Chains A and B, each alone.
Chain A
């Protein structure tokens, strides 16, 4: 459909290429009149005929989009609905879970917190401790580093930045054999931070998260005008005061983004955690749930579903609440 440029500013950008849409309200009246006039001027078909075909027109314009959207939503949601249903199904096997929402009970959830063979509470607590501590430390260490890179000029700065950019291209997982042997050796000298400890795992995660996130924060620091810290300095504030009381509040959004991204990725990390955490009592939700279904998938399905749902919900809520910031951060950081 070809259509001349509409001179009316109200319509610019509101309708794109699709032609007249269902804008509703007053504008539709304006619109109809305008089209009527234009149709007369251009010798187009009478408006009456247009309106009779309006369903077909609506369909080719936006109607089919609803259908595509619903197909996509079904594709997106049915696994999630299935897992919700399975978690409430008291039968608890794979076959039993196939009839969606055929029975509702909290039996699986009870088992999660009462069955000694499924120490879900311990797993959950371990995951939370590791993820929260790692996120907080990553935020602090990255902010310190990014501040120095952004606000100070020193020899080797550009080279360091370039190195950082290159180093973060290599996923830490590739060095998993070295991490394993290194943790054994650290454990020989310092059992408290060696293999099998949360502190050791947190240190490993720190090493892996610092490269990319320092870079992310460095970019954000650069957007804060230098005039601000210069003014503070003239007022007599020292570098630490400028950093903690002036810069940190200004870059709060990126601190939240880095913290959340780190939290989500640490909660979901399996490979390194499974190698470093050797004792069952120290293991995380990811390892625990994996073991729950790796051998006896069809028997433990209900309990697994309940555990998966409880593990996924906070992450999903976090994610959707901060989606706008996260995606912005992810675009500049290219993670996940």
Chain B
């Protein structure tokens, strides 16, 4: 770049000594003024955000997160302000996201697998106590009527209360009632139509009367009058237990994230605690999940292996058929044959689900003349359907790969076979196929690994159905392990159990690791790094 930037002219540049051995180039040339400005600007933004985050974290008393965060930000500043450390300057942005959302989440999954996290245990113990008190409230029979106004600040609702003595008080769901002189600024009173349109939120609004949770909350049903509601469960902080004021039943902390009475009844919600290997023990010993999981695991292997073989067989067949020097129109054939692969995978499942519909689907009604074949509701047929649909979706890739591999086969070997009098089949069997397999073997392993966790096709086509009849879990005949994890963690069947799902994830991790080790052994990819 002669004359573009005099600053970078080598004669003017301060020549630094090479201070690190083994470096290929001396990268220490200082950047231009623009680069410096960009650097200062970006670092400034990061540090500004960091300061805000530190305040928030201190406010929330999240000391571990705060420590990790401060160390990270300090590290980023060090890397970009200190001269040298050039590889780190280039690697840090990518590594940051990779470490958090790929590496850390795997470790975190391992931790969750040993907890009872889930719908029934989704937060901390103090949150759970508050939640129990709130959800078990009844109106105090002789509560006076408080005249109230519903106020809003755009995000949340609050109540302005005219107390019986004539004083004004204001509070929100988060903030207990506090005496005020006038309605607080930046809060607007809701008119009747606004109250009606926000009816659900108004009904759900519970303003604590004081800091003591046992004193109850104010609730309004019409936006004008509010009454005191008190929990039928009284929390005793010293004993760490709940007492039902009506029946006298005592619920104590059972050490497993719930308050439980002596006859085994638990209050909901509970809170998240580490429960050790219970999730794994449950998976391996309880018949409700062990037997379905075994079937799901076997089917996962069958599905992954079957899909790989089917797409390879069909792709190779078509590649062989269309790979002929004098075949007319083969370019157009190739484009048309590959089209399914270009079609987005998530739509494929949905489209085929419609076509395979038992009563109205295209396949039964038109192609098979009104037959009622239960393509997606019979366990065996559903599995076959899943395999065929996945073949439709995936063979295009193998077709492209095999066509490429066939065209790069050395001509002379094939010709030598011809000279020796080998038949077309014999040449394919003994010459082309072995050479081809060498080229595509890594891709077959990759295809297997991909299909092993091919969430999209299964979930979009059948959602794992038809369901197994011998378990209450939402698991079915076409579920593979990853769809089972998803359904256990986020399914609509209720009782979403993140801890159990994480334990299942860990089992898949182990299997994937074994496949990965096998594949690295075969391809020697790790040794080839240089």
Q: Given the complex of chains A and B, what is the CA–CA distance between A335 and B451 in angstroms? A: 11
A148-203 with Cβ < 8 A to chain B: 148-149, 151-154, 157-158, 160-162, 164-182, 185, 188-190, 203
Q: Does A116 touch B at the CB level, under 8 Å?
A: no
A244, chain B: closest CB distance, angstroms? 9
Q: Are B1 and A172 touching (Cβ within 8 A)?
A: no
Q: Does A21 touch B at the CB level, under 8 Å?
A: yes
Q: Are A241 and B351 touching (Cβ within 8 A)?
A: no
Q: Which segment, of B83-91, B170-178, B221-229, faces chain A?
A: B83-91
Q: Given the complex of chains A and B, what is the CA–CA distance between A69 and B350 in angstroms? A: 26
Q: Are A17 and B456 touching (Cβ within 8 A)?
A: no
Q: Given the complex of chains A and B, what is the CA–CA distance between A89 and B193 in angstroms? A: 42
- From known contacts A83-B351, A157-B87, A178-B502, infer whether A173 and B8 are also in contact, taking CB-CB under 8 Å: no
Q: Chain B residues near A23 (CB, 8 Å)?
A: 326
Q: Chain A residues near B333 (CB, 8 Å)?
A: 69, 72-73
How large, as a class, is the contact surface on chain A?
A: 35 or more
Q: Does B347 touch A at the CB level, under 8 Å?
A: yes
Q: Are A293 and B353 touching (Cβ within 8 A)?
A: yes
Q: Given the complex of chains A and B, what is the CA–CA distance between A97 and B501 in angstroms? A: 39
Q: Are A98 and B97 touching (Cβ within 8 A)?
A: no
B401, chain A: closest CB distance, angstroms? 6
Besides A95-B360, A237-B29, A238-B8, 13 other A-B contacts (C-beta < 8 A): A2-B418, A75-B392, A93-B360, A98-B362, A145-B91, A167-B103, A170-B106, A176-B485, A211-B102, A240-B31, A269-B346, A301-B354, A327-B401
Q: Chain B residues near A103 (CB, 8 Å)?
A: none
B329-354 with Cβ < 8 A to chain A: 329-330, 333, 335-348, 350-354
Q: Are B362 and A162 touching (Cβ within 8 A)?
A: no
Partner pick for B486 among A14, A68, A176, A269, CB 8 A cutoff: A176
Q: Are B1 and A237 touching (Cβ within 8 A)?
A: yes
Q: Does A41 touch B at the CB level, under 8 Å?
A: no
Q: Given the complex of chains A and B, what is the CA–CA distance between A170 and B105 in angstroms? A: 11
Q: Given the complex of chains A and B, what is the CA–CA distance between A236 and B15 in angstroms? A: 11
Question: How many residues on B have C-beta within 8 angstroms of the other chain's C-beta atoms?
Answer: 127
Q: Are A177 and B401 touching (Cβ within 8 A)?
A: no
Partner pick for A210 among B97, B339, B502, CB 8 A cutoff: B97
Q: Does B355 touch A at the CB level, under 8 Å?
A: yes
Q: Which segment, of A42-50, A107-115, A310-318, faces chain B?
A: A310-318
Q: Chain A residues near B330 (CB, 8 Å)?
A: 69
Q: Are A271 and B87 touching (Cβ within 8 A)?
A: no
Give the residue among A62, A140, A174, A190 with the most B Cβ atoms within 10 A. Answer: A174
Q: Are A17 and B427 touching (Cβ within 8 A)?
A: yes
- From known contacts A206-B97, A240-B35, A336-B397, infer whether A177 and B498 are also in contact, taking CB-CB under 8 Å: yes
Q: Chain A residues near B482 (CB, 8 Å)?
A: 171, 173-174
Q: Are A77 and B339 touching (Cβ within 8 A)?
A: yes
Q: Are A315 and B342 touching (Cβ within 8 A)?
A: yes
Q: Does B13 touch A at the CB level, under 8 Å?
A: yes
Q: Does A10 touch B at the CB level, under 8 Å?
A: no
Q: Chain A residues near B321 (CB, 8 Å)?
A: 65, 68-69
Q: Are A334 and B442 touching (Cβ within 8 A)?
A: yes
Q: Chain B residues near A230 (CB, 8 Å)?
A: 25
B-contacting residues of A (Cβ < 8 Å)?
Answer: 2-5, 12-18, 21-23, 61-62, 65-66, 68-69, 72-73, 75-77, 79-80, 82-83, 93-95, 97-99, 140-142, 144-145, 147-149, 151-154, 157-158, 160-162, 164-182, 185, 188-190, 203-204, 206-208, 210-211, 214, 226, 229-230, 232-241, 243, 264, 267-271, 274-275, 286, 289-290, 293-294, 297-298, 301, 304-305, 308, 311-312, 315-316, 319-320, 323, 327, 330-331, 334-336
Q: Given the complex of chains A and B, what is the CA–CA distance between A152 and B87 in angstroms? A: 7
Q: Are B87 and A148 touching (Cβ within 8 A)?
A: yes
Q: Chain B residues near A16 (CB, 8 Å)?
A: 324-325, 414
Q: Chain B residues near A152 (CB, 8 Å)?
A: 23-25, 27, 86-87, 90
Q: Chain B residues near A14 (CB, 8 Å)?
A: 325-326
Q: Chain A residues near B421 (CB, 8 Å)?
A: 2
User: Quick one: closest B residue to A83, CB to CB?
Assistant: B351
Q: Chain B residues near A82 (CB, 8 Å)?
A: 351, 355, 362
A154, chain B: closest CB distance, angstroms? 4
A309, chain B: closest CB distance, angstroms? 9
B195-230 with Cβ < 8 A to chain A: none
Q: Given the complex of chains A and B, what is the CA–CA distance between A335 and B446 in angstroms? A: 8
Q: Does B93 touch A at the CB level, under 8 Å?
A: yes
B1-52 with Cβ < 8 A to chain A: 1-2, 5, 8-10, 13, 22-27, 29-32, 35
- From known contacts A152-B24, A157-B87, infer whether A271 and B489 are also in contact, taking CB-CB under 8 Å: no
Q: Given the complex of chains A and B, what is the CA–CA distance between A253 and B293 in angstroms? A: 45
**Sampled A-B contacts (20; CB under 8 Å):** A5-B419, A13-B411, A21-B326, A68-B318, A94-B360, A95-B365, A166-B520, A169-B512, A175-B109, A210-B98, A211-B102, A232-B1, A234-B10, A235-B1, A268-B346, A290-B460, A293-B350, A334-B450, A335-B450, A336-B397
B482-528 with Cβ < 8 A to chain A: 482, 485-486, 489-490, 498, 501-502, 505, 508-509, 512, 516, 519-520, 525-526
Partner pick for B490 among A66, A79, A170, A275, CB 8 A cutoff: A275
Q: Chain A residues near B9 (CB, 8 Å)?
A: 236
Q: Does B94 touch A at the CB level, under 8 Å?
A: yes
B371, chain A: closest CB distance, angstroms? 13
Q: Given the complex of chains A and B, what is the CA–CA distance between A22 and B325 in angstroms? A: 10
Q: Are B453 and A173 touching (Cβ within 8 A)?
A: yes
User: Quick one: closest A residue to B442, CB to CB?
Assistant: A334
Q: Does B67 touch A at the CB level, under 8 Å?
A: no
Partner pick for A147 among B23, B90, B104, B463, CB 8 A cutoff: B90
B423-462 with Cβ < 8 A to chain A: 424, 427, 442-443, 446, 449-450, 453, 455-456, 459-460
Q: Does B81 touch A at the CB level, under 8 Å?
A: no
Contact mask for chain B residues 346-386; partner A; CB cutoff 8 A; 1 contact, 0 none: 11101111110100111001100000000000000000000
- From known contacts A152-B24, A154-B87, infer whether A312 and B108 are also in contact, taking CB-CB under 8 Å: no
Q: Which segment, of B53-61, B132-140, B263-271, B280-288, faces chain A?
A: B53-61
Partner pick for A141 among B94, B459, B505, CB 8 A cutoff: B94
Q: Are B106 and A236 touching (Cβ within 8 A)?
A: no
Q: Chain A residues near B317 (CB, 8 Å)?
A: 68
User: Quick one: closest B residue to A144, CB to CB?
Assistant: B90
User: Quick one: closest B residue to A21, CB to CB?
Assistant: B326
Q: Does B529 touch A at the CB level, under 8 Å?
A: yes
Q: Are B443 and A331 touching (Cβ within 8 A)?
A: yes
Q: Are A323 and B449 touching (Cβ within 8 A)?
A: no
Q: Given the complex of chains A and B, what is the CA–CA distance between A319 and B340 in angstroms? A: 11
Q: Chain A residues near B505 (CB, 8 Å)?
A: 174-177
User: Quick one: closest A residue to B49, CB to CB?
Assistant: A190
A258, chain B: closest CB distance, angstroms? 12
Q: Are A158 and B529 touching (Cβ within 8 A)?
A: yes
Q: Chain A residues near B459 (CB, 8 Å)?
A: 270-271
Q: Given the complex of chains A and B, what is the CA–CA distance between A230 and B24 in angstroms? A: 10
B146, chain A: closest CB distance, angstroms? 33
- From known contacts A148-B91, A152-B27, infer whether A286 and B346 are also in contact, taking CB-CB under 8 Å: yes
